[in-house]
Structure 1
Amino acid sequence: MRSSDILIVDDEIGIRELLSEILQDEGYTVALAENAEVARQLRNQTRPALVLLDIWMPDCDGVTLLKEWAKSGLLNMPVVMMSGHASIDTAVEATRIGAFDFLEKPIALQKLLTTVQRALKYGDMQANTSLNLDKLGRSEPIQELKRQLERVAKVKSPVLLTGESGSGFELVARFFHQGNTPWVTPAKLEQLADAPLELLQKANNGVLYLPEIGQYSRRVQQGLLFLLSKLDRFNVRLICSCSRPLQELLVDPSATTGC
């Protein structure tokens, strides 16, 4: 999933497919999640430009998921809640937590498209200002993290962020992003193997962020090696994240996926 994707989270397959078809016809790229768990996994990988989030789902309701993202610093993209029978109190609570808007099912086509356009425009304006560590508070552990990052920022070497899934890797990675310089995340992992030079060109004088490198196939890893050899040429700062134990990956060569 890339930064221009719209993530649709809904347990009803018919609604997911209908919304996906409409938005793809309008030229948007779309990712789908049938429940909160899949949505968590996709959000942990990268930041979508917009999330359409159903309120009522069997494993975890949308408001609870919204709270999780807000608490962990991952609510840094516009989220539009959807429901066919939500109360006003629920809509107000979602807005208080940080939801951008609310769509009532069945969703009218023009209402959907207008809301998506507004949300994406809002997200573009907020992208460079909402992603900062202040979202996580001013506790001593956060201040110590900032001090460590400030020291690392003075060195041009690639950075590897490790920790548990959902640790807010992208939030930390954004610490290294300066002003209006490029911020690039590959749309698909295959880009690393098939067009690594294109990624470097897009990220020229900016940051290239690669999430969850512990899941990369050997073929994609070869593309990563190529990137590492060309970073200086394009003046690119490489930030990677990994939620899998590094020792596990070193001991078990088959821990990476694919071939």
Structure 2
Amino acid sequence: MANILVVDDELGIRDLLSEILNDEGHSVDLAENATQARNARLNGSYDLVLLDIWMPDTDGVSLLKEWAMAGTLTMPVIMMSGHATIDTAVEATRIGAFSFLEKPITMQKLLKAVEQGLARSTAQPPASAAAPAQTNTAPAPATTGAIANGAPAPAPVVAVMEQAPMSHQGFNLDRPLREARDGFEKAYFEFHLAREGGSMTRVAEKTGLERTHLYRKLRQLGVDLGRNKRNA
């Protein structure tokens, strides 16, 4: 489990990213502007930061530069934007951004970018930003999302493809990722509910989710809680 900070001025994006990352077992803090992000960074340590570029008080690139100059850019930072230009991407990369995600952000791209960022954090923590200009001498980090308006990404794009059969254990995988994931998760939770006799406490323990989050997830998936329901 990693500690992740999500910085975005749009409530819907913050909630969406938080839900996805929480489902993956990560601990997520949220900030709606640069001021809250500064305070969060001063008061806590993060393994990864998802940082929006366009924010009302201070833009994400300026905040990234602040952290770099202060020597607190000790974690991978993934920039997010639906309107980034190549110049903006190059500038953020020069300062020390790990990669970019283009909005709207798909779950697949988000999880892949987070996985790569956390792997970088574990294998090779970012160097102290006392001299951020040195980042020019190293190859630019691979970007996960494309830059807006169809422009080429400022760094080589790493394509990760996993081969899998079209169906597995009765699941039809030839459909959109979210539908396939929802179908699997519903079957997964129904299996554990049946095995634990409807005990939400035991299912929460087995699946590693808090009961409140578990209830919300089951309602979202349309799982019938009336069958074999037991709160013990």
TM-score under structure 2 length normalisation: 0.54
Larger Rg: 2
Matched with 1:136 is 130
What does residue 70 of structure 2 align with?
A: 72
Q: CA deviation at 1:90?
A: 0.6
| Cα RMSD for the two superposed structures | 1.5
CA contact (8 A) 2:68 2:130 kept: no
Shift of residue 93, structure 1, vs aligned partner:
0.8
Residue 74 of structure 1 aligns to a residue in which SS?
coil
Aligned residue in 2 for 1:30:
28
Give the 4+ runs in structure 1 shifted more than 4 A.
none
Whole-Å Cα distance in 2 between the matches of residues 101 and 130 of structure 1?
Answer: 16
Among 87, 90, 106, which residue is 1:89 paired with?
87
Specify which structure has the higher proportion of helix.
Answer: 1
User: Match for residue 232 of structure 1?
Assistant: none
Whole-Å separation in 2 of the counterparts to 1:71 and 1:23: 29
1:126 to 119, 124, 132: 124
Residue 169 of structure 2 corresponds to which residue in structure 1?
none
Q: CA shift at 1:22, angstroms?
A: 0.7
Amino acid at match of 1:46: G
1:102 corresponds to which residue? 100
The corresponding residue for 2:110 is 112
Percent identical among aligned pairs is 63
User: What secondary structure sits across from 1:8 in the alignment?
Assistant: strand
Q: Is the 8 A contact 2:65 2:95 kept in 1?
A: yes
Question: Which runs of 5 or more structure 1 residues have no equivalent in the other structure?
Answer: 138-259
Whole-angstrom CA distance in 2 between matches of 1:120 and 1:136 = 22
Paired residue type of 1:52 = L
Alpha-carbon distance between aligned partners in 2 of 1:74 and 1:29, rounded to the nearest angstrom? 20
Amino acid at match of 1:74: T
Note if contact 2:78-2:97 (Cα within 8 Å) is conserved in structure 1. Answer: yes
- What secondary structure is seen at the aligned counterpart in 2 of 1:86? coil
Kindly provide the CA deviation profile for residues 23-67 of structure 1, in whole angstroms up to 9, marking residues without a partner as x. Answer: 101111100001000000010112200000000000000000000
SS for the counterpart of 2:124 is helix
State the secondary structure of the residue aligned to 2:118: helix
Gaps of 5+ in 2: 132-232
For 1:31, give the aligned amino acid. Answer: D
Aligned equivalent of 1:44: 42
Q: Distance in 1 between matches of 2:59 and 2:123?
A: 28
Q: Given residue 44 of structure 1, which amino acid in structure 2 is its aligned partner?
A: L
Counterpart-to-counterpart distance in 2, 1:102 and 1:16: 17
State how many pairs are aligned.
131
Alignment map for 1:214-225 (pairs within 5 Å)? none
Matches within 5 A, 1:184-203: none
**Distance in 2 of aligned mates of 1:130 and 1:59:** 28
Indicate the SS of the match to 1:60.
coil
